[in-house]
Structure formats: structure tokens, C-alpha cells
Amino acid sequence: MFHYKPLTDNELFELTQAGDKFAFEEIYERFNGLLYIYACKLVTDKEDARDIVQEIFVYLWSNPGIKIKAQLSAYLYTAVRYKVFDWLDKNKSKSNYLRSLENFAERGYCITDHYIREKEFASIIEKEVSLLPPKMRQIFEMSRQQHLSQKQIAEILHLSDKTVKKQMSNALKVLRLKLTSFISIAFILFIR
């Protein structure tokens, strides 16, 4: 029977590339433990380190066209290091995704819920404003939507400042009365 132990790493590699299973087993015996220790220094989880090393050996066996320029040992250690980088990138993306999902689960519902409530509240306010007497509604909308001062409104509508002020005051009282109960409920729901 042919003995593989005296062969150099590169001789074993050449035999492995030719499909020699026993040469591959000898490479595995020589490097598995060392590569595992090396991988354990780079990743904290021993199972992950074991998986990384196994992937290197699977790749080595299933790709007979691999060309190495240096020693087999240097190639294997470099392969483990790059595989660890890939693993770290995947886990970083995975943990970022999980963190993002957690944040959405914690806050996403509230954001959506608050947005819907805000829209409902705005709709109710618009409805109540539309029910104001025409002149009062016009003055209120010019103040709140067009951001005009009472003096500007008075000039545009040919009214006294006092009339505009009184109409705004009445509009706010009416709206306050109609919306107080809704605002109380909405406030309680918003601070939840």
C-alpha cells in the first residue's frame, strides 16, 4: 500500500487535484485541527469555526482546477481568513436586519398607528371647520391655512380688526367645544 505521510503538502495537493481520495484525507488530517484552531481565534462560535473549515475542505475536494502559487498551508490559512470575512459580512448583515426588524416591530406599529390617527384627526378638524358659518370659516381658513394676520384679513375682507378678532375667537371656541372630547381621547391614545 502506498504511504502518503512522507509526501510534501504540495505533492499531496497535486494528487488530490488528480482525484486521489487518500491524498485528500492526508491533507485533511494534517490541516483540519490547525485550521480549526485558527478559525476559532477569528470567530467566537466553535460550530461556526468548524463549518468554515469544512467549507474550505469541501471546496478543495470539489474543485480540481485550483491553482496555488505558494505553499498549500499558506493557501489554506488564507482561504480560512477570507471565509471568515464572508461569514462576518453575512452575520453583520443578518444582525443588522434582525435589529432593524426589531426596531420596526417596536416602533413601526406605533408610527403607522399615529399616522392614521393624525390623518383621522385632521379629517375631523376639516369637517368641523366646514360646518362653521361662512364668514367665520373664511376668516379662520385665511388665518390658519394662508397664515395671514388679523390685520391682513381685515384689509382683504374690508372688515375692522375687531370684527376679525371676534370671528377668530368665536371660531376657536366652537371648534374647541366640538373637538375637546376627541382631543382628550386622541391625546391618551398618542401617549400610549
Q: For position 65, what pLDDT does the model report?
A: 82
Task: Using pLDDT thresholds of 50, 70 and 90, give the confidence band for residue 162.
Answer: very high
Reading phi first (left if > 0) and then psi (alpha if -120 to 50, else beta), residue 38 is in: alpha
- C-alpha 64/C-alpha 78 separation (Å) is 18
Q: How many CB atoms lie within 10 A of CB 184?
A: 10
- C-alpha 142/C-alpha 129 separation (Å) is 12
Amino acid identity, residue 65?
Answer: G
Q: Is the pLDDT reported for residue 1 higher than 60?
A: no
Kindly state the average pLDDT of the residues 11-15: 90
- Region(s) of the chain under CATH 1.10.1740.10: 9-96
Contact present, 143 and 175 (Cβ < 8 Å): no
Check if CATH label 1.10.1740.10 holds for domain 9-96. yes
Q: Is the pLDDT reported for residue 84 higher than 90?
A: no
Q: CA nearest 175: which of 116, 115, 133, 118? A: 133
Kindly state the average pLDDT of the residues 116-129: 74
Average pLDDT, the chain: 80
Q: Is the pLDDT higher at 138 or at 89? A: 138
Kindly state the average pLDDT of the residues 82-105: 68
Residue 110, class by beta-carbon neighbours within 10 Å (0-12 exposed, 13-18 middle, 19+ buried)?
A: exposed
Q: CA nearest 174: which of 131, 116, 118? A: 131
- Region(s) of the chain under CATH 1.10.10.10: 131-190
Q: How far is CA 78 from the centre of its chain?
A: 32
Spatial neighbors of 124 by CB under 8 A, at least 6 apart, are 179, 182
- C-alpha 110/C-alpha 144 separation (Å) is 28
CATH number of 131-190: 1.10.10.10
